[in-house]
Amino acid sequence: MPRPIVASISISALQHNLAVARAKAPGARAWGVVKANAYGHGLERAMRAFADADGLALIEPDYAVRLRELGWNKPILLLEGFFDAADLPQLAAHDIQFAVHCDEQIAHLEAFATDAVLHAHLKMNSGMNRLGFRPEAYRAAHARLAKIAAIGSITMMTHFANADDEGNPDLPLAEQIKRFTDGTAGLAGARSVCNSAADLLHPELAFDWVRPGVMLYGGTPGGGTAADFGLRPAMTLRSEIIGMQQVAPGEAIGYGSRFVADRQMTIGVVACGYADGYPRHAPNGTPVLVDGIRTATVGRVSMDMLAVDLSQVPGAHVGSSVVLWGEGLPIDEVAFAAGTIGYELMCALAPRVAVREVQ
């Protein structure tokens, strides 16, 4: 007797999107990025769907180990490296590769006695100013890391701030590329720079490994929606109308009475709220499908419910199907209306929502 809200996750869509990512970068190997529980899609499920990836990359060390326990025997990469030197023996034992982004991590590796061969991904801060060595410090970090006997390979990596907005005046993409190219010139080893935006928009930057994330789930990095890039939505969040109200002009709907009807309206109440992961800050007018017909939210999203205008959906009834995002309603469109990005909606899917896996 569950609530009617269900997130359907399509395995074939995940597979299709990975194939798109690979086709954009035919000469490169591809990490499937599965951080944050595979952007809300389920780590184990994503692992099965991405059997064709050359490796899986994530942030959470405990889930990296979990992937090994689940039987993933290709490479695994921790994109932020290890957080605690005490984790190194376990990472080595499971052959888990890791980013190295700061001197403290190198010092821990120098002090780590092991017979294992470790694969490091040395991160350059090419302008985003989150993690990594600045270009002028990169070579010294590389040399120091290369001296450690256990280090079997060093991949050079960086991350772009504006791959979906290359003309951004504060940090043009070309500037980040130049810093990375100059800072790594002459160093032997593989290179990896592409997130989804770069994979989709800049195939010439594929180098040796690409790192697509959101595109695998049918989200798009910048403007546009999945279909513009030949991607399929992997997650469709569906629920039902559980109640209806006839509202007279001047009557208000929901907490704070944020929406006041200016005419006679039929309102549907949907079993979906912010405790399911729907954004509370979605304004009046956020798109929704009811029985396949596009309409919009009215009033504030509450914990377990939200309200929609049924004036243009004449056949709607208690039990009518509602799509919050996914098939027929791109997640990026809903996210845009709510002032956020598809990434955040996917990742926020709440544990109480039932998940149904479909082909």
Ligand X SMILES: *Cc1c(COP(=O)(O)O)cnc(C)c1O
User: Can you tell me which of 32, 55, 135, 213 binds ligand X, judged by CB under 6 A?
Assistant: 213
255 is catalytic: yes
| Cβ 65 to ligand X shortest distance, Å | 19
φ, ψ at 42 (rounded to 5°): 100, 120
Tell me the residue number closest to ligand X, measured at CB.
213
H or E element that contains 10 = strand 6-10
Q: How far apart are CA 191 and CA 158, in angstroms?
A: 9
How many residues of this chain bind ligand X (CB under 6 A)? 12
Q: Report, in this order, helix, strand and coil percent for the chain, each rounded to 5.
A: 30, 25, 45
- In angstroms, what is the C-alpha Rg of the chain? 23
24 is an interface residue for ligand X by CB under 6 A: no
Residues in 56-95 at the binding interface with ligand X, rule: CB under 6 A: 79
End-to-end CA distance of the chain: 24
Nearer to ligand X, 162 or 195 (CB): 195
Cβ proximity of 286 and 297 under 8 Å: yes
Of 47-55, 65-73, 212-220, 260-268, which segment contacts ligand X by CB under 6 A? 212-220
User: Which residues 6+ apart lie within 8 Å of 311 measured at CB?
Assistant: 265, 266, 295
Of 134-142, 208-216, 234-242, 302-310, which segment contacts ligand X by CB under 6 A? 208-216
176 is an interface residue for ligand X by CB under 6 A: no
φ, ψ at 96 (rounded to 5°): -100, 125
Q: How far apart are CA 345 and CA 332, in angstroms?
A: 9
| Cβ 285 to ligand X shortest distance, Å | 27
| Cβ 205 to ligand X shortest distance, Å | 13
Choose the catalytic residue: 35, 39, 274, 278.
35
40 is an interface residue for ligand X by CB under 6 A: no
| Cβ 58 to ligand X shortest distance, Å | 9
Instruction: Give me the torsion for CA of 243, 245, 251, 255, rounded to 10°.
Output: 0
The pair of three-digit structure tokens given for residue 192, joined into one six-digit string: 């990896």
The pair of three-digit structure tokens given for residue 120, joined into one six-digit string: 């490091």
User: Which residues 6+ apart lie within 8 Å of 353 measured at CB?
Assistant: 5, 6, 7, 237, 276, 277
φ, ψ at 116 (rounded to 5°): -75, 160
Nearer to ligand X, 29 or 35 (CB): 35
221 is an interface residue for ligand X by CB under 6 A: yes
Buried b (16+ CB within 10 A) or exposed e, 257-277: eebebeeebbbbbbbbbbebb
The pair of three-digit structure tokens given for residue 247, joined into one six-digit string: 């509202």
| Cβ 173 to ligand X shortest distance, Å | 14
Cα distances (angstroms) measured from residue 172 to each of 141, 161, 308? 25, 9, 41
Cβ proximity of 126 and 183 under 8 Å: yes
Nearer to ligand X, 58 or 267 (CB): 58
| Cβ 332 to ligand X shortest distance, Å | 13
Of 210-218, 277-285, 290-298, 310-318, which segment contacts ligand X by CB under 6 A? 210-218
Contact track, ligand X, 135-174, x by CB under 6 A: ------------------------x---------------
195 is an interface residue for ligand X by CB under 6 A: yes
Nearer to ligand X, 64 or 265 (CB): 64
Nearer to ligand X, 26 or 315 (CB): 26
Nearer to ligand X, 47 or 215 (CB): 215
17 is an interface residue for ligand X by CB under 6 A: no
218 is an interface residue for ligand X by CB under 6 A: no
| Cβ 36 to ligand X shortest distance, Å | 8
Nearer to ligand X, 125 or 196 (CB): 196
Contact positions vs ligand X (CB under 6 A): 33, 35, 79, 159, 195-196, 211-215, 221
Kindly list the catalytic residues.
35, 255
